Amino acid sequence: MTIRAITTYPFETEWLLGEFRCDVPEPTITYKPGVVYLAHKGEPRPPHKPGYDLLREVPRQALLMPEWLKKPNRSDGIFWSPCHAAAVTVLEQSTVLFKVAADQTRDWNLSVEFRYTPGPDWIDFEMRLMPNTPHKDFDFFFASYITEDMESTWVPALIDGREEWRKLDNRGTEPWGRMYGVPRDETYRRQIFDGRYGDIEDAGGIEDYNYSRPIIVCQKQDTGLACVTLVEPEKNRILCGQKHQYETAHDFTFSGDLVPGRLFTGRARLVVKNIGAFPDAVREIDKMWDAFQEELGGNDQRPS
């Protein structure tokens, strides 16, 4: 038996209670880094809405969890097999940094920082990656496991040039649900089957449409409380995941070509807020998206 202390970083904002963990004890397959506790504090004024835990127990999984380095015919874990990277943690005012040196990433030969910054009802996440070796068609895959009690998943589909919100049929079987994947475009739809996701024999888990914006929503329908993940456009190529035994994964990538000596960055925001029921909820999501885009300094090219 091994007993080992783990360093975590609790935080509290206007609406959220949470905790970050970057220290991963051996064996590293058991516990993973990221946001390991996140709760919405509820609303103190009438009609009083109680608090809600997105992660019901201290989890083996996490939110905004760095998971896989991927490219054609290859998929390696960064904090587990084969890299077993060990992050150094830095507290920089209100930001928690996980820093991984290039010698921790084997022949991927890249150093990377993961930056977690809480806001009033969101967590901003940024990856800063410095490659020393070229990697074409690279994906850094991130996972967010959310309690199965928050039981519906929504994505904005691009249908005939227009945006249409779709509820995914990804929880119909026990204990594991149907895998889902919603690619950005037809180019990446083909790349999914180039070996980066293992031996996929058919497209059963890939939706027959692309997304319009890189947004994935996990919602508790009877209350309207949602966990909304917004990902920087042009840096994301797929939204995907699967229902596991006790939670459902809501995953995304930061993707592109890595050039030695050229900094590669990606940003995402995870918002926890009551958005009401679809389709009216889209108005709240649009407000989140516009605020996120404004901070990125980009232009919103939302379909009409």
Q: Which of 254, 249, 273, 274 has its CA nearest to residue 264?
A: 254
Residue-level pLDDT at 203: 47
Lowest mean pLDDT among 186-200, 202-216, 290-304: 290-304
The CATH code for residues 8-296 is 2.70.98.90
CB 241 within 8 A of CB 218: no
Domain residues of the chain, as ranges?
8-296
Considering the chain, what is the average pLDDT of its residues? 89
In sequence order, the 6+-apart residues with CB closer than 8 A to the CB of 36 are 8, 19, 20, 21, 55, 58, 59, 62, 63
Residue-level pLDDT at 298: 64
CB 64 within 8 A of CB 116: yes
Q: Which of 29, 30, 28, 37 has its CA nearest to residue 8?
A: 37
What tens digit of pLDDT does each residue of 104-151 get?
A: 999 999 999 999 999 999 999 999 999 999 999 999 999 999 988 898
Most confidently modeled range among 193-202, 234-243, 292-301: 234-243
Q: Which of 104, 153, 154, 152 has its CA nearest to residue 129?
A: 104
pLDDT at 221 over 60: yes
CB 153 within 8 A of CB 251: no
Mean pLDDT calculated for residue range 157-172: 91
Residue-level pLDDT at 7: 83
pLDDT band at 197 (very low <50, low <70, confident <90, very high): confident
pLDDT above 90: percentage of residues in the chain: 67
Mean pLDDT calculated for residue range 79-106: 93
- β-pairing, 135-143 with 251-258? antiparallel
Token pair for 133? 């070796």
What tens digit of pLDDT does each residue of 2-60 get?
A: 667 778 899 999 999 999 998 776 654 567 899 999 999 987 666 667 789 988 765 67
